[in-house]
Amino acid sequence: MAKIATARAAEENAAVQMRQLGFDDASVTRGGPDGGIDVRSSSAVAQVKCWFKPVGTPDLQRLFGARGHQRHLKMLFFARSGYARGALDYAADHEIALYTFDDEGHISPVNDHARTLMSHRSTARSMERVRPSTPKVISAREAALTAYRAERQASLARQEHYFDVGCQIAELRMRELGFSSGNMSTGAGAGEYTVLFVDRALAGIRVTHGAVGHFTLMDLMKVDPRGRGDQRFYFSCDGYTQEAIDYADSYGIALFTYGRARTTSPTNGHARMLVRRTR
């Protein structure tokens, strides 16, 4: 298992661990404010903290509040560095299963609620081993649908990965060019359209299936109603159409293309000018 280096990796690991605990449809929630829930399934919700300090009571209270009136949902919490004494007491009173995880992603139960979930899963696995198996006949349609879903899931995972890479690359490159870190404003769907706001600039980032067109850059010009940015950037993993490059040259947008090796290449004159200016 890969090392847990980011909050997103910790959330993905928690989803995997929940599926192993029997919550088969557990998945990470979309990007943006999570309202206290990082991983959700039809029968459980979970919060994940990749902090290097103990989790306190307020974070467990947010998870409990986010569950709301859906009392059938189990509550799980995953923390890298354990829990404060008050958090342990709160979890015991509100039936929250607490786990810690290490750098490799392995989890350890912290309280009785967590140990009970792991015990139930262990018992279920033992029963599966002794239950006689009945061969299941799978139709060609079911097999094709299963293969399609697997490929779709893999495609979404790749898209999320390249989108996260794009955000990291954009922030790093902008810092190198003299623009400090800022805030993300995510579009309708993770990976579709995101804008990074900083002191004197803003940048658009999108994972696309094909070159970015000039209409996308036109949308970027409309994003800054309060005039927070006098320099605009765009980062794409699939390049740009000639119309987009012409539009960017006309409106002063610096275009960069980024690759799987986490490198960026200036695509138009404005981008090359900014790079030369910092050398």
**pLDDT tens digit string along 145-192?**
777 677 766 666 666 666 666 777 777 777 788 776 555 554 444 444
**Does the structure show a pLDDT above 70 at 34?**
no
Taking only the tens place, the pLDDT of each residue in 220-260 is 787 654 555 578 888 887 788 999 999 999 988 999 888 76
**115: its two tokens:** 């140990």
Q: Give backbone dihedrals phi and psi of 92, rounded to 5 degrees, phi first.
A: -65, -40
What's the confidence (pLDDT) of residue 170? 76
pLDDT in tens, 200-213: 777 888 766 678 88
Helix ranges restricted to H, the chain: 7-20, 57-67, 85-94, 112-130, 140-176, 214-221, 242-251, 269-278
Which candidate, 239, 237, 196, 238, places its Cα nearest to that of 220? 196
The predicted pLDDT at position 150 comes to 74
What's the mean pLDDT in 111-127?
Answer: 75
- pLDDT for 45 equals 94
Alpha carbons within 13 angstroms on the beta-carbon side of residue 141 total: 0
pLDDT at 8 over 70: yes
Q: Say if residue 139's pLDDT is above 90.
A: no
Greater model confidence, 133 or 28: 28
Report d(CA 58, CA 210) in Å as an integer.
Answer: 44
Residue with the larger pLDDT of the pair 155 and 83 = 83
**Residue 184 region, left (φ>0) first, then alpha (ψ -120 to 50), else beta?**
beta
